[in-house]
Structures are given as C-alpha cells and as structure tokens.
Structure 1
C-alpha cells in the first residue's frame, strides 16, 4: 500500500486548532465553556490545555481579577498557547501532567478537560487529581469521544467496521472513555449534574481524512494484518467517488465537587 495514501499525519497543535474551528468543534466547545458558569474573579483550570484553544474564552469570562491556569506537558503545545494568550494577564501556563497537576489542593473554582483523557495512562487518576485541586462546590466540565461509535459509510460495510474496530483497539488508548465519563467522575467523588452527546458529522472526505485519519490509520490496519491490502485500497478509493458520510459520538459531562 502506498505510503502517500490519505493525508499525512498533521502537526498536533494545528490539528487541535482546526478541529476546534469546525462547526462541530465550535458547538460543543461553546456548550462546555457555558456549562462551567464562569464569573469574574474565579480561578479556572484547563487541564491538558494543548495550544490554548479555549484559554482566551476562559480569560474573557473571569476577567483581569480572575485567573486561568493552563497545564500541559508538551513544550510545543505550551509555546503555541503562550503565543495565543500573549497579553492576557489572567492566563498562567504551567508545565505539568494531568496525573500530577502543578496546582494546589482546593485552589480552583472551575476546571475542564477536553479530549485529553482518551490519551492518558490512567483516566481515573487524572480525575482524582481534578477532585484534589477543586474547591467544594466547584464545577468541572469533561468532554471525550467514544470511538466505538465511529461510522464510515461505504458499500463495503465490513471494511468500515474493521476500520472502526482497529481504531478502537489499536489507535486510541482509551477509545471508549466518552461513555465511561459519568461512571469515572462519580467514582472520583464528583456529583454528575448533566450528560449530553453530540454527533460531529463529516460530509467532506478530505476533511474526514485529515481529522479521522482514514488513510494513515488504514495503512496501519493493513500493515498489522487487520484489513486486506487490496480490499483496503478499494475501500479508501471508493470513499471519494460519491456522497460521503462519517460520524462519531462526543460525550460531555458536567459535575460538581
């Protein structure tokens, strides 16, 4: 199978910013920030802030009298976040891991994590850290996909299903974390107050290839023996020949400390 199949792996920061800028990204991110019910003077934590996508919106709501703490362990992400928040006095960026947040116990009024827990080694430990750093009565917002719900329309439905199974089993570390959020948040000591699901829909194959990694993940599936090479190539080529559809479920949870 050609190494040029599909879009190349994108720069991670650019990927996150592009995903957030799409219609689906703007919709659920807006709901997530609104759900935090931010007020001037509060301290809010963005755990796994990435390139700082949400930091300006958080800073606007807490004002100069508040504080926004962005934590990420990736130096490149923090550098992009610094560029994005230059001049915002409320924002402070810290190098750290969500399993051991560089934040004092009981010091945060609001906290969020967005598409982070699907990548971490121990989601339960990360949620326990969020519980540690939040004050009693704090609001916490969580958002994660459930990759078991990824569907790609094709005449060869068996290959579409095999692609989803491979994505769930081999590509994403915690692929079904979305559905587990209410259970894990409760186990961490939070009280779940709201659960919602949104469905990002892709009708443009190029955008789906970029965001969902259709071509590059298919190459991995073929290389590891999950999908026949000839059948996989035919499946991918057919996706661009007619109307395209793909979607997955994104779960958002609001809870209180």
Structure 2
C-alpha cells in the first residue's frame, strides 16, 4: 500500500503550519482574511490559536506598527516559537492560554482572527462566546475553516472516494463540518454575520495536495479503522500517485461583528 509519491511520516506540527502558509493557497486565503479584518492604526488585534506566530508579523504590519497584536495559543512549544519569531516587534505579545477561557479582560480588542483552529477544539460554541466577550462593541472577528465533508477526490471508483471522505469527515477531524456551521454558531454567540466567503481549494498536483491532505497517512489510518480494505487502499493510492490528479475542498471565511 506504500507509494513513493506520498509522505508516510507525520510532519512536525510547527513545520506543517509553516508549510501550509507557504503554499499559494495559504498565501491567498490568508491575504483575504487580512483584508476582511480591515485593521486600522492603533487597534488591538488578537490572533486566537496563533500557533508558531505565522501571521503575527503581517497583523502588526497591517496596524502600521501603532497598535497591539496579541497571539494566544495553548501549546507551549508553539508559544515559544512565536515569541522567538516576534522578539524584534515591540507591539506583539504572545500568551499561553486556552481559547475556551481566554486570559484577557472583557472588551480588550478591536479585531480578532482564528485560522483553522476551531475544527480541532473541544467546544467551538464556547470559544465563540469567549471571542465575543473579549471584543469591543463594533469589533470584528474573521474566521477561516474548511468543511471536510466537501472533500472531493477524483478516482475511477466512486465508492472509494466516498469512503475516504466519510472517514476524514467522521473520524479524522474533530469538527469536520465547522466551515458550514460557523455562521450559525457565531450568531448564537451574539455576533452579526455580514459576510461568508466560500473558497474552493483545487489541487491538481498529487505531491502538493499530499503536503496538506496527508493522503497516504490518512489512507493507512482508514485501513486500520476498517473504513478501507488493503486492496481498496492499494487501488486508491496507485491511481492518485500515477493518474491525472484532482481534489477539491471548500474553505469558508466568515466575518462576524460584535
């Protein structure tokens, strides 16, 4: 079942986040999120689930160096990396904390963003209530999340494609359908939702897709869990690694206002 095209080892989490940010897709959707934030000089901006600080510098630059940027993450290693990367930026602070219970006072910020974080958290609704609490009235929150139930991978055997997507959506990602749910959850938390921007990410190169999707690693897990047979997994990976490749998934950027 092993191919020579796809990765088999799980990448380091920080390296993986850096890798995604460096892709054309990553740069494109992050620019759109930054545009939607509409940061003004002097504002306080939160990056909730900031990871290793991938986006902290661009947030600081958008505020023309006159505002404050606060990153929050629960992973000590990511927080340490983010602090090292922003050590020369006096307007950036990175805090260790849980987005379900942010270490910030009420109405502390003008802008907030979260990028591919809510798909993994225990309670997205509680996180959104916290986001609403720490934003000032009239503040803006921009969230970006995939909807893994929309994952479509072309293969001559449609049943294999459906089984793979069902496994990803039902077993691999904790909140796999969060992209479509965000507008409702944001409204329930007290936000107005003026804009929802769907972005269809299309992959036509198998190796590039694998850098984000982890095709072989996920296939191996699906076999171990009984969602694919060894024979089916072999046919699946053989075609993906040798035939014309196409995969797509919908990513939602949701703009919310407090």
- Any idea what SS the aligned residue of 1:87 has? coil
TM-score, normalised via structure 2 length? 0.96
In 1, Cα distance between equivalents of 2:156 and 2:3 = 24
Shift in CA distance, 231/5, structure 1 to aligned 2, threshold 3 Å: farther
What is the count of residue pairs matched by the alignment?
257
In 1, Cα distance between equivalents of 2:30 and 2:173 = 21
In 2, Cα distance between equivalents of 1:4 and 1:24 = 24
Q: Residues 41 and 67 of structure 2 are in contact (CA less than 8 Å); yes or no, is this contact kept in structure 1?
A: yes
1:153: Cα distance to partner? 0.8
Q: Residues 152 and 247 of structure 1 are in contact (CA less than 8 Å); yes or no, is this contact kept in structure 2?
A: yes
The answer as to 2:102 corresponding to 1:80 is no
Kindly provide the CA deviation profile for residues 17-51 of structure 1, in whole angstroms up to 9, marking residues without a partner as x.
Answer: 11122111111111111111101110000000011
Partner of 1:57 in structure 2? 58
- Any idea what SS the aligned residue of 1:206 has? helix
Kindly provide the CA deviation profile for residues 36-92 of structure 1, in whole angstroms up to 9, marking residues without a partner as x.
Answer: 110111000000001111110110122333110000011111122123212011100
TM-score, normalised via structure 1 length? 0.96
The answer as to 2:232 corresponding to 1:204 is no
- Of the structure 1 ranges 97-106 and 4-13, higher mean CA displacement relative to structure 2 is found in 4-13
Partner of 1:70 in structure 2? 71
In 2, Cα distance between equivalents of 1:22 and 1:43 = 28
Partner of 1:179 in structure 2? 180
1:163-242 aligned within 5 A: 163-242=164-243
Partner of 1:118 in structure 2? 119
Structure 1: which 4+ aligned runs deviate by more than 6 Å? none
Partner of 1:22 in structure 2? 23
The answer as to 2:127 corresponding to 1:143 is no
In 2, Cα distance between equivalents of 1:154 and 1:103 = 48
Q: Residues 2 and 216 of structure 2 are in contact (CA less than 8 Å); yes or no, is this contact kept in structure 1?
A: no
In 2, Cα distance between equivalents of 1:80 and 1:158 = 42
Shift in CA distance, 70/44, structure 1 to aligned 2, threshold 3 Å: same
1:107: Cα distance to partner? 0.9
- Any idea what SS the aligned residue of 1:52 has? coil
Partner of 2:36 in structure 1? 35
- Of the structure 1 ranges 194-203 and 78-87, higher mean CA displacement relative to structure 2 is found in 78-87
1:255: Cα distance to partner? 1.3
Q: Residues 45 and 110 of structure 1 are in contact (CA less than 8 Å); yes or no, is this contact kept in structure 2?
A: yes
Q: Residues 222 and 232 of structure 1 are in contact (CA less than 8 Å); yes or no, is this contact kept in structure 2?
A: yes
1:2: Cα distance to partner? 5.2
Kindly provide the CA deviation profile for residues 81-128 of structure 1, in whole angstroms up to 9, marking residues without a partner as x.
Answer: 123212011100000011011111111010011100000000000000
Partner of 2:109 in structure 1? 108
- Of the structure 1 ranges 81-90 and 175-184, higher mean CA displacement relative to structure 2 is found in 81-90
